[in-house]
Amino acid sequence: MPLKDPATISMAGVSVGNSSRTISITGDNVTLDGYDFALHGGYQLAISAANTTISNSNFAVGTNQGAYLIYGGTSASNLTVIHNTFDGSSIGNNLSYIRYSGSGEVSLEYNWFKNFPGHVVEFTQANGSPSFSVDYKYNLIEQGSLHDGYHLNFLQFGGGTASSVDVEFNTTYQTPQVSGGEGFQFYSNTQGGVIQDAVMAYNTMIAAGGATGSAMSYMLHANSYNDNSSALSGSVHDNFFDLQAAWGAFYSAPSGWSFSKNMDMRSGKIISSKNKLLPAVRQREPQPSPR
């Protein structure tokens, strides 16, 4: 079905700035479905309400946009971004596709994030603010770090309390770009932030097309400060990694985290938490029950 022109939006709680190309969502329970936000030089969404859903739409970095395509302010709560396409450009005026400073659950599912300059999503809650949670599943994440000096991250935290972070069933593909970086981070870049109940499972991550470390550094950075600014525990299991152009799968393997059944796709062997390949284990064939 053809996508709609955002300039035609007319609903309670939503205003369209034609000069700034900013769509402000101030009313609760708003759903924007089936819009082409790449039109007219590109739109950005500014959300300060509860229970916003953005679905089945197209985004692209354009001449009229600020630093983010979707920005959730401190008064935002519960954001769902589902079945959308996000595309970048060589303009370089966009830092990340999504920045969120609010509370509640942020759900990112079935999106195609491609050609982004730095981060797919960054969380910037203040310490002591209401908690939030992250549901990050079933997305295709392709080619970030297009601009020099933009550090690659598929997920980044900057403070606050994340009550749960669930990263599952995503596919990521990265070849060498002008600036490198990591994949999914599970620590706060602001000391005092807290991340609880972290899970990374069933993801397929590919770094290919160049020498070791030329596309990415590491696929996962579990923690950094070894204090309450990091996820002190988490589970990393059943992921598949192509590490040809990365330094390794795991930047760190802190105590309290479990690593199991994470496979190197080139060797077919299990990767230990220390980025060592473990000997292949032959699975015993099930035996028929005795008569």
Place of tokens 């908690």: 131
pLDDT at 290: 45
Token representation of residue 85:
């396409």
Distance in angstroms (rounded) separating the CA atoms of residues 69 and 91: 14
Q: CA separation (Å) from 191 to 29, 57, 123, 138, 226?
A: 33, 36, 14, 30, 10
Distance in angstroms (rounded) separating the CA atoms of residues 203 and 184: 11
**170-184 core/surface letters (b: 16 or more CB in 10 A; e: else):** bebbbbbbeebbbbb
* Strand pairing category for 240-242 and 184-188: unpaired
* Blockwise average pLDDT, block size 10, the chain, 291 residues: 95 94 97 96 96 97 85 98 89 80 98 92 95 98 81 92 96 88 90 89 97 94 65 91 96 86 96 84 45 43
Distance in angstroms (rounded) separating the CA atoms of residues 172 and 27: 34
Domain-by-domain residue ranges, the chain? 16-270
Q: Tell me, what amino acid is at 262?
A: N
Give the phi and the psi of residue 15 in degrees, each rounded to 5: -130, 145
pLDDT at 220: 94
Could you give the 3-state DSSP secondary structure of residue 97?
A: strand
Can you give the pTM of this predicted structure?
A: 0.92
* String of DSSP letters for 64-81: T--SEEEEE-TT-EEEEE
Q: CA separation (Å) from 203 to 175, 182, 222?
A: 17, 15, 15
Q: Tell me, what amino acid is at 151?
A: H
Distance in angstroms (rounded) separating the CA atoms of residues 51 and 182: 31
pLDDT at 291: 43
Contacts of 137 (CB under 8 A, 6+ apart): 108, 109, 166, 167, 168, 169, 170
Could you give the 3-state DSSP secondary structure of residue 230?
A: strand
Q: Is the dihedral of CA 201, 202, 206, 211 positive or negative?
A: positive
Q: Tell me, what amino acid is at 81?
A: V
